Amino acid sequence: MTKSQNKMWGGRFTAGPDAIMEAINASIAFDQRLAAQDIQGSRAHAAMLGAVGIISDSDCAAIREGLDTILLEIENGKFPFRVEFEDIHMNVEARLAELIGEASGRLHTGRSRNDQVATDFRLWVRDQTDVAILGLEALMSAFLAQAKLGTDWIMPGFTHLQNAQPVTWGHHMMAYVEMLARDKSRFEDARRRMNESPLGAVALAGTSFPIDRDMTAKELGFDCPTANSLDSVSDRDFALEFLSCASICAMHLSRFSEELVIWSSAQFRFVTLSDKFSTGSSIMPQKKNPDAAELIRAKIGRIFGANVALMLVMKGLPLTYSKDMQEDKEQVFDAADNLMLALAAMEGMVGDMTANCNNLRIAAASGFSTATDLADWLVRSLDMPFRDAHQVTGTLVALAETEKCDLPDLTLDQMQSVHSEITNEIYDILGVENSVASRMSYGGTAPEQVRSQIARWEATLE
């Protein structure tokens, strides 16, 4: 590369990079994904330069028209991305020069690649945040539909993956609505914080040109310009927050994926997944594998990894910009791609899955799942301290195990052999339906409570 070919770097360099330096330095292979945001930012910057009189109206019009042409070329797959121009910013600028000539050189007045990339990347992350919020709302609606369908269906509630107490299918589905609502809230909160414009911070110290940062911020949909030029070009908190929100959300998706893997197994048969989100075996014709759930569970590791990777890139950097920060984008691109894919796949699985109500009901009644109800009855009816009631109930469970039956199958004589004051009323509370219906505390599993929560979230999402 000759000096004339190296115009983008200016007169400081008399020779271009060799092949290895070009390969490690160039980012166009991945940052071309910022093309729309780069042109959006440049159009706003050009309009501002024209409005305040830094460039002429004719140059402003030519620049904006040229940028529109470039965007159309990119959208139609006809833009000639070139590695010698390093990144999306220089590729666009070089093409603009080819299209409109000398006027293109005025676009970079009062701007640096440092604030340009910070603006482009922030716009891209903000767009992805909006997509994530929409994806979460759609998935919440899918869980709400399942909850509404099975508000009264009895299923086992687990601790340690052991039968604990009976709950309702609707209640279990609504647990994920709550999780996803927190994810949505985190993305919304992060969006508010990231919605400040770095454009106009220039390299690191601002500019002596009379630019109007409020104008460009408003044009790009930001609430305001950033308040410190040093922080503006060095900040990647917006990307880290996106990855942090994505990681917590991904963890929730992975937890439900694990439940689907377990629930769809032959040992559980709690749910049947549709053929759309299952695959077969190359050798075992009977198999129907929950591959979509398993792939979501695995892809989550890439999102976690991106979060850690960007933290490690940023942790030792002094103010302001260092070339290390070029490594911020691929991690975020990959995490965003996988999060959106996981949200869409999970929405499809939740919408298509079928709960096997009879199997859920049978499983809920096993494993002495109403033992806590028995203990609560002893407290209420016999005025027994809970710890004493716990011990009596534990003794009755042990007796039932010896007799190879469940608690409701013990005779009254057997019950009274453990505690003489137990009466026939005990049998009224030992059924799983009675157990579930009694959990009327706010946030409890009683169908009445679940319906109330469903109505609340339906109104919220509308």
Q: Which residues are catalytic?
A: 160, 281
Residue 421's CB is within 10 A of a number of other CB atoms, namely: 12
| Amino acid residing at 272 | T
Evaluate the CA torsion angle 56, 61, 62, 64 in order and state its sign: positive
Residue 269's CB is within 10 A of a number of other CB atoms, namely: 15
Give the strand pairing for 224-225 and 196-197.
Answer: parallel
162 by Cβ neighbours in 10 Å (0-12 / 13-18 / 19+) ranks as exposed
Between CA 292 and CA 297 the distance in angstroms is 9
Bridge partners (DSSP) of residue 354 are 272
Q: What is the CA radius of gyration of the chain?
A: 31
Q: Is the peptide bond before 320 cis (omega within 30 degrees of 0)?
A: yes
Contacts 24+ apart (CB under 8 A), 454-461: 454/144, 454/147, 454/148, 454/151, 454/170, 454/174, 457/140, 457/144, 457/174, 457/177, 457/181, 458/144, 461/137, 461/140, 461/141, 461/144
Whether 129 contacts 186, CB under 8 Å: no
Provide the token pair at 18. 């060799």
Provide the token pair at 226. 């950033």
Whether 429 contacts 373, CB under 8 Å: yes
User: What DSSP string runs through 309-373?
Assistant: HHHHHHTTPPSS--GGGGGGHHHHHHHHHHHHHHHHHHHHHHHH-EE-HHHHHHHHTSSSTTHHH
Nearest to 426 by CA among 375, 385, 384: 375
